[in-house]
Amino acid sequence: MKTRVPAPCSAIRTLCALVLGENVYAAFLSKGALLKIRLLFAAALGAAVFVAAAGAATNAGQLVGTVGPGFSIKVTMNGKAVKSLKAGTYKLVVHDRADSHNFHVFGPGLNKKVTTVSFMGTKTVTVTLKKGKYTFQCDPHAAAGMKGSFTVS
C-alpha cells in the first residue's frame, strides 16, 4: 500500500525513503511521523549551517609566508602582501626556499619559529593573532633588512 505524500514534501520523502528504505518510511508515515522527520531534517540542516558559519568565523583565512630564494621574505593572503588583518585564527603555510634562512613570526602572544635555518620545504601551522603589530623575519639576516610586519586590529 503506497502512502500519498504532498508535493512540497517530495524531496524529504525521497531522501527518507533512500536512507530508511521504502517500507520503513511507509511505516513511519502510517504512524504520523512525517512532522518528526521534517523537524529532524530541519535540525540537521540548521546544525550544518551553524558549524560552517562557526568554522568561517574562527578560521579567517590562509596566510602564505615565503622565505628565499635570495634575501626575500614575505607574507601574503590571496596573492597580495599582508599589511593588516583582523584578529582571529589563521592557517600559515610557509614555503622555505633556502637552507640559509628561517621563518620566524612574533607579536602579541605569539613567538613562532616556523622553519629552521637548515630546513627547506613547506610547513603549515595554525596561529591565533590578537590586536597589535606582528613581525616576520629571517633571524640571521633581520639586521640586513630581511623582515616585514603587519598590524592586527
84 and 107 in a single domain? The answer is yes
Domain membership of residue 2 (yes or no) is no
Render pLDDT for 99-153 as a digit per residue (tens, 0 to 9).
999 999 999 999 999 999 999 999 999 999 999 999 999 999 999 999 999 999 9
Which residues make Cβ contacts (< 8 Å) with residue 129, sequence separation at least 6?
Answer: 85, 87, 88, 89, 90, 107, 110, 152
27 and 37 in a single domain? The answer is yes
Range of the domain at 46: 7-57
Total tally of structural domains belonging to the chain: 2
Q: Is the pTM of this model over 0.85?
A: no
Which residues make Cβ contacts (< 8 Å) with residue 21, sequence separation at least 6?
Answer: none
Render pLDDT for 53-108 as a digit per residue (tens, 0 to 9).
444 444 458 999 999 999 999 999 999 999 999 999 999 999 999 999 999 999 99
